[in-house]
Amino acid sequence: MIGFIKGILREKDMGNITVEVGGVGFLISVTNSCMANLPNVDEEVKIYTYMQVKEDELSLFGFVSPEEKKFFMQLISVSGVGPKTALQILSAERMTALITSIINEDVSVIANCKGIGKKTAERIVVELKDKIKPFDYILQQEAPVNVKNASIDDAVVVLTSLGINKNEALRLAKQVFVDGDTAEQIVAKALHNLGG
């Protein structure tokens, strides 16, 4: 299995890239977030990969981070969800939105992804709701320039996963936030306030 590929980015086109390593060009299908975070052509790149082996083909799927790859692996563990479908889901929505929807058992976010039916979305939510641990998926590449909002957003994901109403979670997170706080610090303080 190929865990990652590090080489020179030679081509990027419509969801696919070619990375040259030792004179060999690896064609990799990538998510939209991976595509958005690529360097310029002819610069060095590191892509986390999953290799699918079929009788008649080998396919590589690429991700911007280990967390994105991990979530992809969770998606393809669901019955009836193959790598291409999982890549479509990851390309259609921000990962934090997908995780929040699974934790909150909100099928609509995944069902709205192109090519994903309601039954598949329901299966994903049912099979993953108890396996998803939000702190495993706090993504550096999804953090906006405004770090305050990124930390608060991620804290809200965790608080709602603990059964707190989303509006209440947002209020709590904003109430305790101090510049420089990580999501974990916000969650700890919010839970302390709730307990007090």
User: Nearest to residue 2, comparing CAs of 60, 41, 43?
Assistant: 60
Whether residue 147 is found in the same domain as residue 183 = yes
pLDDT at 121 over 90: yes
Task: Express each pLDDT in 87-106 by its tens digit.
Answer: 999 988 888 788 888 888 88
pLDDT at 135 over 70: no
**134 vs 39, higher pLDDT:** 39
Whether residue 85 is found in the same domain as residue 128 = yes
Whether residue 76 is found in the same domain as residue 58 = no
As for how many domains the chain has, the answer is 3
Question: What value does the CA radius of gyration of the chain take, rounded to a whole number of Å?
Answer: 18
Which CATH number is 113's domain given? 1.10.150.20
Residue 147 pLDDT grade (very low, low, confident, very high; cuts 50, 70, 90): very low
Which CATH number is 157's domain given? 1.10.8.10
pLDDT at 31 over 70: yes
Mean pLDDT, rounded, of the chain: 85
Token pair 């986390």: residue: 48
pLDDT at 196: 55
Token pair of 48 as six digits? 């986390």
pLDDT at 143 over 80: no
Q: Give the residue numbers spanning the domain of 154.
A: 143-195
Q: How far apart are CA 159 and CA 173, in angstroms?
A: 9
Main-chain dihedrals φ then ψ at residue 92, nearest 5 degrees: -85, -30
Contacts with 143 (C-beta within 8 Å, 6 or more apart), sequence order: 150
pLDDT at 142 over 80: no
Are 9 and 45 in contact by the 8 Å Cβ rule? The answer is yes
Which CATH number is 50's domain given? 2.40.50.140
Q: How far apart are CA 147 and CA 54, in angstroms?
A: 42
Token pair of 1 as six digits? 């299995």
Whether residue 122 is found in the same domain as residue 154 = no
pLDDT at 195: 66
Q: Angle CA(74)–CA(80)–CA(82) in degrees, nearest 5?
A: 60
Q: How far apart are CA 134 and CA 136, in angstroms?
A: 5
Average pLDDT value for residue range 125-141: 71
Q: How far apart are CA 93 and CA 85, in angstroms?
A: 13
Kind and range of the H or E element at 58? strand 58-63
Q: How far apart are CA 165 and CA 171, in angstroms?
A: 10
Task: Express each pLDDT in 68-77 by its tens digit.
Answer: 899 999 999 9
Are 28 and 47 in contact by the 8 Å Cβ rule? The answer is yes
Whether residue 30 is found in the same domain as residue 46 = yes
Average pLDDT value for residue range 106-119: 88
Whether residue 59 is found in the same domain as residue 78 = no
Q: What is the pTM of this model?
A: 0.68
pLDDT at 123: 94
Task: Express each pLDDT in 35-64 by its tens digit.
Answer: 888 899 999 999 999 999 988 888 999 998
Whether residue 42 is found in the same domain as residue 74 = no
Amino acid sitting at position 15:
G
Average pLDDT value for residue range 26-33: 93
pLDDT at 141 over 50: no
Task: Express each pLDDT in 154-176 by its tens digit.
Answer: 888 888 877 788 888 888 888 89
Helix pair angle (147-161, 183-195), 10° resolution = 50
Write down which residue in 46, 63, 80 finishes a domain: 63
Token pair of 98 as six digits? 């997908």
